[in-house]
């Protein structure tokens, strides 16, 4: 069995000290170009692979970042998770994953003073149970990037899309179809429901821009953005004397539940009721009918979050907090355009 190549082996072949090899491997600048080239050739010739664990321990790091999300069974988060893992792995980091179920105490534990810093070097965090005020009380020394709708307090970076603009675009698409009895499913008018509130705001603004008034009685709340809640909310709307002719659902899962109810009631989508969702999950693209949706650039959200987190980890002093907007686009499918 071949012996593992060590730092000392590389130093002997290159004719330098072990400290010099370590400086080259770790990218430190205090090495001449001539020496750097000699060491790199020795590394390649011997097939030396640095001991990442030992290096991280020497630097007081774990080599791991945490991704904390409310639900792993939600397709949006599972798809985002894959993108985060790819981006982190390409930069030499592993990803620890935790599901909070939206529990405030569980979420608070990850960002509290003296949190589990030996386990991870920083956190990419999508909170559900913590409102803006609670989120502000985090450990200022913890490298932190927040996803979703919680804006930064100046000590962490925030990555998300413009929910108001995206929701306005979704609603405008329904209005462009000539529909006027528009419903919205997913409102959450309480402190931790920022995402839903921004989407409701976009829904109202789209009506106002056309000189119309959104029907407040057709804005229906849901405790979660899932199929069951979408199906139940759609049933409630259909039992009204004046049911909607179009529905903006605050997630694709909600849209899939709404479509299930519509079809079970013998209604046609989109001929009788047009439906648009949000998130652009894979299930929506392959459902029958396929779901029109707002598509956030999940790959850019993940890559940006990882890059900003690693910048915070590597910076001796915390860099200024930034608000970053990822792009989104409207994808028109069968649930609003039909199968023609």
293: helix, strand or coil: strand
| Residue with the two structure tokens 């000189």 | 211
CA atoms of 243 and 121, how far apart (whole Å): 51
Q: Tens of pLDDT along 292-311?
A: 999 999 999 999 999 999 99
Q: Tens of pLDDT along 134-176?
A: 887 888 888 999 998 776 667 788 999 999 999 999 999 999 9
Give me the pLDDT at residue 118, please: 61
Integer CA distances (angstroms), 168 to 198, 213, 224, 245, 282, in order? 10, 14, 21, 18, 23
Asked if residue 282 lies in contact with residue 75, where contact means CB atoms within 8 angstroms, the answer is yes
Give me the pLDDT at residue 198, please: 94
Task: State the pLDDT confidence band at 334, using cuts at 50, 70 and 90.
Answer: very high
CA atoms of 253 and 250, how far apart (whole Å): 9
Q: Furthest-apart CA pair in the chain: how many Å? A: 87
When the pLDDT of each residue in the chain is averaged and rounded to a whole number, the result is 89
pTM: 0.81
CA atoms of 278 and 254, how far apart (whole Å): 9
CA atoms of 185 and 157, how far apart (whole Å): 30
Q: What domains appear along the chain, each with residue ranges and CATH number?
A: 7-50 (1.10.260.40), 61-161+297-326 (3.40.50.2300), 163-296+330-337 (3.40.50.2300)
Show the tokens assigned to 180: 């006027």
Strands of the sheet with 274-276, listed across from one edge:
219-221, 182-187, 246-249, 274-276
Task: State the pLDDT confidence band at 45, using cuts at 50, 70 and 90.
Answer: confident
CA atoms of 296 and 278, how far apart (whole Å): 8
Task: State the pLDDT confidence band at 203, using cuts at 50, 70 and 90.
Answer: very high
| pLDDT greater than 70 at residue 50 | no
| pLDDT greater than 90 at residue 182 | yes
Integer CA distances (angstroms), 174 to 77, 148, 207, in order? 27, 25, 10
| pLDDT greater than 60 at residue 36 | yes
- Of 93-102, 116-125, 190-199, 278-287, the range with the lowest mean pLDDT is 116-125
Give me the pLDDT at residue 116, please: 58
Among the residues of the chain, which ranges form H helices? 7-14, 18-25, 33-46, 52-58, 75-90, 104-111, 132-136, 163-176, 194-209, 227-238, 252-264, 282-285, 298-314, 334-337
| pLDDT greater than 70 at residue 29 | no
Integer CA distances (angstroms), 150 to 75, 85, 116, 127, in order? 21, 22, 22, 8
| pLDDT greater than 90 at residue 290 | yes
Show the tokens assigned to 328: 């989104």
Who's near 113: CB < 8 A, 6+ residues apart?
Answer: 139
The dihedral through the CA atoms of 126, 165, 247, 214 has a sign that is positive
């Amino acid at each position: 069995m071949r012996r593992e190549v060590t730092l000392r082996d590389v130093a002997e072949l290159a004719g330098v000290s072990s400290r010099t090899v370590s400086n080259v491997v770790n990218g430190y600048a205090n090495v001449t170009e001539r020496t750097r080239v000699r060491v790199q050739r020795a590394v390649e010739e011997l097939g030396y692979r640095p001991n990442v664990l030992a290096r991280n321990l020497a630097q007081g790091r774990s080599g791991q970042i945490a991704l904390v999300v409310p639900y792993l069974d939600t397709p949006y988060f599972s798809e985002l998770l894959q993108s985060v893992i790819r981006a982190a792995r390409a930069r030499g980091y592993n990803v620890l994953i935790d599901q909070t179920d939206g529990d405030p105490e569980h979420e608070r534990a990850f960002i509290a003073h003296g949190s589990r810093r030996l386990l991870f070097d920083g956190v990419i965090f999508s909170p559900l149970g913590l409102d803006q005020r609670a989120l502000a009380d985090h450990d200022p020394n913890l490298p932190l990037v927040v996803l979703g709708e919680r804006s930064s307090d100046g000590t962490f970076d925030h990555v998300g899309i413009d929910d108001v603009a995206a929701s306005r675009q979704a609603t405008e698409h329904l209005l462009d179809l000539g529909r006027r009895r528009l419903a919205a499913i997913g409102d959450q008018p309480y402190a931790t429901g920022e995402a839903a509130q921004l989407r409701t705001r976009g829904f109202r603004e789209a009506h106002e821009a056309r000189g119309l008034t959104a029907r407040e009685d057709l804005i229906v709340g849901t405790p979660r953005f899932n199929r069951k809640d979408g199906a139940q909310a759609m049933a409630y709307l259909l039992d009204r004397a004046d049911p909607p002719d179009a529905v903006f659902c605050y997630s694709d899962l909600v849209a899939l539940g709404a479509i299930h109810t519509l079809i079970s009631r013998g209604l046609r989508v989109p001929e009788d009721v047009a439906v648009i969702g949000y998130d652009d999950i894979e299930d929506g693209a392959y459902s029958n009918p396929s779901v029109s949706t707002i598509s956030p650039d999940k790959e850019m959200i993940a890559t940006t979050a990882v890059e900003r987190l690693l910048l915070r980890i590597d910076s001796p002093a915390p860099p200024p907090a930034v608000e970053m907007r990822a792009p989104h686009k409207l994808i028109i499918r069968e649930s609003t355009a039909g199968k023609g």
